[in-house]
Structure 1
Amino acid sequence: MSTALPELDELTDLASRTSGPWQTVVWNDPVNLMSYVVRVFREYFGYSEERATQLMLQVHHDGHAVVAEGAREQMEMHAQAMHDYGLWATVREGGRS
């Protein structure tokens, strides 16, 4: 029995899907109060009042903010945590604004 090896294109595709860094992005929504978003950022990420407020204002004014950056699996955990708090969040590969 022989073991099939992946083609180079398949390996390249896999590498592009797992390379990083990855980002957790929180999106503006019409539901959550700004004070609540600041509290979530402070409680979950441990951000200072100032940093949490900056990120919340970015979400409010720009429609979204990158709240964390790192390995894909960790960013997916952060996005799920944001969902658990009732915030809208996604994960994307870094390098975008």
Structure 2
Amino acid sequence: MIQYKAEKPATINTGEKPPREDELTSVTEWNHRHGRNFIILGCAFFITLSVFAYFIENLVDSVLFQAVILLIALFAEIAWVEFEHKVMKKEMIKMLKL
């Protein structure tokens, strides 16, 4: 939520430096997309862990199978955020003309 309302360009917490304001087509849209992606990621994590808890209690007896499914889902969600970030960078960072 902090990224969604930020006035300066936000970034994910990977150590990557955010682009400068003059490099972006729109700082507001950049921050809103970052914030939305993390809100969606948080909801997806919650849903994944809720479904996983249901599987533990009711459907699947194999702990190994449950762990594999959980890890696949979590890594897929993280990969989605990384993919969205790369798409955002391509769409919203102005190309420098030499």
TM-score class, shorter: under 0.3
More strand by share: 1
TM-score by length of 1: 0.27
TM-score by length of 2: 0.26
Q: Could you say which structure has the greater relative contact order, defined with CA pairs below 8 angstroms and 6 or more residues apart?
A: 1
